[in-house]
Amino acid sequence: MRSRAIGLVLGFAADRAFGDPARHHPVAGFGNVAHTLEQRVWADDRKAGARFTAILVGGAAITGLVGERLVRRRPLTRTLLTASATWAVLGGRSLSREAAQVNAWLDADDLPAARKQLTHLVGRDPSELDALEISRATVESVAENTSDAVVAPLLAGAVGGVGGLLAYRAANTLDAMVGHRSPRYLKFGWASARLDDVLNFVPARVSALLAAALAPIVGGQPSAAVSVWMRDASRHPSPNAGPVEASFAGALGVQLGGTNTYGARVEHRPTLGEGPPAQPNDIRRAVQLADAVDLGALALSALIAVRAGRPRRQQQPDR
């Protein structure tokens, strides 16, 4: 288990140093496989979608478990395997870089460029967004994806090793591909969406807790973050994005939520927090808080991995 903990740390460091691989990204390769399988098995039916999800997520988990099994007697190789898988599934560096670039375009008063950059982070239509709405969307994305792209995979790796890392990223990728409520995927993507909800339930709340605890880093108060989280999280349509976004809003002292446009669909979301609307400078603060949450999640995950590997003390028989 020490190999697992060290592998998580090395993989995290690789993500921070190099970001996502520029070419031949494993997650992109998995997405291509998923797309090909979808074309063959799609049906407007929940059972078909459940089979699709089970095949791909189960296959990813088995691949990781078999890989670890093959190197179980070679700690160094096992560490490197865990590090490689961790690097492949994390997205912290890319998230921070994309958000920082949006902030840079806003600082340069280049709204068209900021709107275009925002499409790398969110699915909403940015064509009519002003600087405040772009800032809000970016802060919301940083908060939600801190949990999805860093905290959740680290915890999955701590508990499930390489198999956990690959299975989590497979489930999260399928949710992004087929888990939305379009006519094509309303039934077929149901299983992928629900599995992603289940897998992210604990990580989202760990992320919210870490954001609250680390609020002083960005000039916030833990009590304010917890208060907004407890009061406003349930207003969000997502059971997992709600706690994280609410905690970030409270920690940053800003208000999130509002009207989002997704093509022809318009969502009017309740607000989270009670501060002023997010400003361009709050993007920088959100990234700073997210980076701190990432490090906290790494420390927690490494601790879980080490403690999970310690043999339990056998109870001494009563004399």
DSSP string, 161-192: HHHHHHHHHHHHHHHHHH-S-STTTTTTTHHH
The reply to whether 187 falls in a domain is yes
| pTM of this structure | 0.92
Domain span at residue 85 reads 2-308
In the chain, what is the straight-line distance between the N-terminal and C-terminal CA atoms, in Å?
34
- Domain presence at residue 314: no
Instruction: Work out how many domains the chain is built from and give that number.
Output: 1
- The answer to whether residue 319 sits within a structural domain is no
Which 3 state secondary structure label does DSSP give 274? coil
Whether 317 maps to a domain, the answer reads no
Model confidence at 180, in pLDDT bands (50, 70, 90)?
confident
Considering the domain boundaries, does residue 286 fall inside one?
yes
**pLDDT tens by residue, 191-247:** 999 999 999 999 999 999 999 999 999 999 999 999 999 999 999 999 999 999 999
Residue 33 belongs to a domain: yes
